[in-house]
Structure 1
Amino acid sequence: MFEDEETDKKTQVEYLQSVPAVQSAKENIKTRSTIFAAFIAGVLGGIFAVSLMSDFSAQDGGILNNIERTVVDEESAVINVVERTEPAIVSVVGTKKVASLRQPGDLDDFFFFFPFSLTPRPTQDSEEEQKVSAGTGFFVRSDGLLATNKHVIADNTASYKVLTNDGKEYAAQVVARDPVNDIALLKVEGNNFPVLELGNSDDIKVGQKVIAIGNALGQFSNTVTTGVVSGINRSIVASGETSGPSQIDGAIQTDAAINPGNSGGPLLDLSGRVLGINTAISLEGQLLGFAIPSNDLKKDIEVYTERKTIVKPYIGVHYIMISEGLRLERNLTVKQGALIAASSPDEPAVVPGSPANQAGLREGDVILKVAGEEVNLNHSLAAALRNLNPGQTVELLIYRDGEEIKINITLGERED
């Protein structure tokens, strides 16, 4: 396009320079006619150009105005969501009595410790209440039921309290822990607490704007960050200082900054609905945060309301979801499914005495379907079991030794 424009300019310049300096009268008349016609054309062209430029300016202004309006609208939406949801978001703090150590200071201490060590050793003096954990939570029922991460309240010997946005403090009781997911439910005494609406995490779109709110670093309550949904249906293995590795399937990936202390806080859409519970960050890359889908929390609340505990269906296998890389590495025939495989020498692929063991599943089997639902990278084995109930008998489609077979299995019950 630009080369064509340059060519036109060059052609026009050369043409004007090639007009003879001396012309006959006839040629002068022709020339004057040509000049007059060119003048009229130039005037008309100028009017058209001015009009066209005005149109373009108006269009450019409209585009810029639309962009500015979109930015302002989005900013207003974020502010509105934060103002509406903050009262329902709390800091969760765990405390317990810890031995208070003092350095030897009197003469007896000096003579008792010094001869045996060049560095005076601390001695236990008394016990004092200390903070051992800090995270975030949010009200899901007006009667004081809250949701947070299981790893936030992992210490069974600690006492927990929640701090609300208006400065109030409530003693909290851990009433249920999800045996599979990093979800826990707390309860405080009281009524008419503000609650957050749980959205449908199945409707999440990559690129969707999201807001994360939490107790950043355990000391900056209700810190707000924004970003987008970077990916969905992620399978990750998360671990922390107080909890061992755990598999999280179907996680939402976001680039909204999620810091330590944000754990258990909500990941919200621009309508203020909870899309997920912020749970993990990647230590290998920046802006890689993960949240557990809100539909998992909905199921837990439903089960807890009915049974006062959280139970999950259980078959008793360790497995790896088949990817293209795993298929090539292990020379597998099937392209998708859950490969039953030991996770370590100490943990067998099929748990002895489990429903899977009783149904005859073996290491090396590939689970292709559960109750008619395909098992693949976008729909893991855990996801296929999510909406089923303990005690329910379902059909598994298994790939074994080059052929597909069907096996009926009665799901067991798994508690924390």
Structure 2
Amino acid sequence: MGGGSGGGAGVAAVVVAQRQGLAVDFKESQVADFDDLEEDKFLNAVVKVYCTHIAPDYGLPWQKQRQHSSSGSAFMIGDGKLLTNAHCVEHDTQVKVKRRGDDKKYIAKVLARGTECDLALLSVENEEFWRGTEALHFGRLPCLQDSVTVVGYPLGGDTISVTKGVVSRIEV
């Protein structure tokens, strides 16, 4: 999903569940060889989110607050939508997204925000942004000790990061 700098903590991104060299295929939700997944299509579905925020001061609501910027990660889920973390776009005044390998930033609109689950749904109306992309599909939840690959734009980074590890705890 998304990680952030500025207002949010940590980095999270798309998780591919793997068990003994096998991975969830996002399209069919069936187990497939991880090497069979087209890595470029997978990486190209993860985007960097740039957000400008102005947090309200409830004690002095009449005073204009300072704006600040942060960044995070999102991924394409189809129908012109992106999924990110709610804290990445909290109190947003402007949201832009950028694809891997592209210098152009596209205006995004926050469609829904769930602070309880820390998820937000974004849309990008510019057709050019979606050209040549493929959405990711949700697979099963990983199990304890499953190998996972986390993809996203960590705090302070402008290039995509790929990190591998194992699931050591699950909270639902």
**TM-score class, shorter:** 0.5 to 0.7
Asked if the contact 2:106–2:124 (Cα under 8 Å) also holds between the matched residues in 1, the reply is: yes
Identify the residue that residue 75 of structure 2 maps to in structure 1: 138
Identify the residue that residue 140 of structure 2 maps to in structure 1: 200
Structure 2 CA distance for partners of 1:96 and 1:87, relative to 1, 3 Å: same
Structure 2 CA distance for partners of 1:218 and 1:155, relative to 1, 3 Å: farther
Asked if the contact 1:172–1:186 (Cα under 8 Å) also holds between the matched residues in 2, the reply is: yes
Deviation at 1:85, TM superposition (A): 0.6
Asked if the contact 1:148–1:183 (Cα under 8 Å) also holds between the matched residues in 2, the reply is: yes
1:150 aligns with 2:86: yes
138, 149, 169: which is aligned to 2:105? 169
Deviation at 1:163, TM superposition (A): 0.5
- Structure 1 residue matching 2:40: 3-state secondary structure: helix
206, 226, 230: which is aligned to 2:164? 226
1:203-246, Cα deviation, whole Å (9 max, x unpaired)? x22111110011112323310000111122x2xxxxxxxxxxxx
Write 1 or 2 for the structure with the bigger share of strand: 2
- Structure 1 residue matching 2:34: 3-state secondary structure: helix
Q: How does 1:177-256 map to 2 (within 5 A)?
A: 177-191=113-127, 192=130, 193-201=133-141, 204-232=142-170, 234=171, 250=172
Identify the residue that residue 397 of structure 1 maps to in structure 2: none
Structure 2 CA distance for partners of 1:214 and 1:78, relative to 1, 3 Å: farther
Distance in 1, matches of 2:68 and 2:153, equals 14
Q: TM-score by structure 1 length? A: 0.28
Structure with larger Rg: 1
User: Which structure 2 segments of 5+ residues have no match?
Assistant: 1-19, 24-32, 55-66
Asked if the contact 1:145–1:187 (Cα under 8 Å) also holds between the matched residues in 2, the reply is: yes
Structure 2 CA distance for partners of 1:155 and 1:137, relative to 1, 3 Å: same
Write 1 or 2 for the structure with the bigger share of helix: 1
- Structure 1 residue matching 2:41: 3-state secondary structure: helix
Identify the residue that residue 46 of structure 2 maps to in structure 1: 89
Asked if the contact 1:135–1:218 (Cα under 8 Å) also holds between the matched residues in 2, the reply is: no
Higher relative contact order structure (alpha carbons within 8 Å, sequence separation ≥ 6): 2
- Structure 2 residue matching 1:138: 3-state secondary structure: strand
Q: TM-score by structure 2 length? A: 0.63
Deviation at 1:150, TM superposition (A): 0.4
Task: Report which stretch shifted further, 78-87 or 219-228.
Answer: 78-87
Asked if the contact 1:139–1:195 (Cα under 8 Å) also holds between the matched residues in 2, the reply is: yes
Distance in 2, matches of 1:146 and 1:196, equals 10
**Number of matched residues?**
127
Deviation at 1:190, TM superposition (A): 3.5
For 1:134, the aligned partner's letter is: S
Structure 2 CA distance for partners of 1:79 and 1:163, relative to 1, 3 Å: farther
Distance in 1, matches of 2:52 and 2:84, equals 16
For 1:84, the aligned partner's letter is: K
Structure 2 CA distance for partners of 1:224 and 1:78, relative to 1, 3 Å: farther
Structure 2 CA distance for partners of 1:90 and 1:79, relative to 1, 3 Å: farther
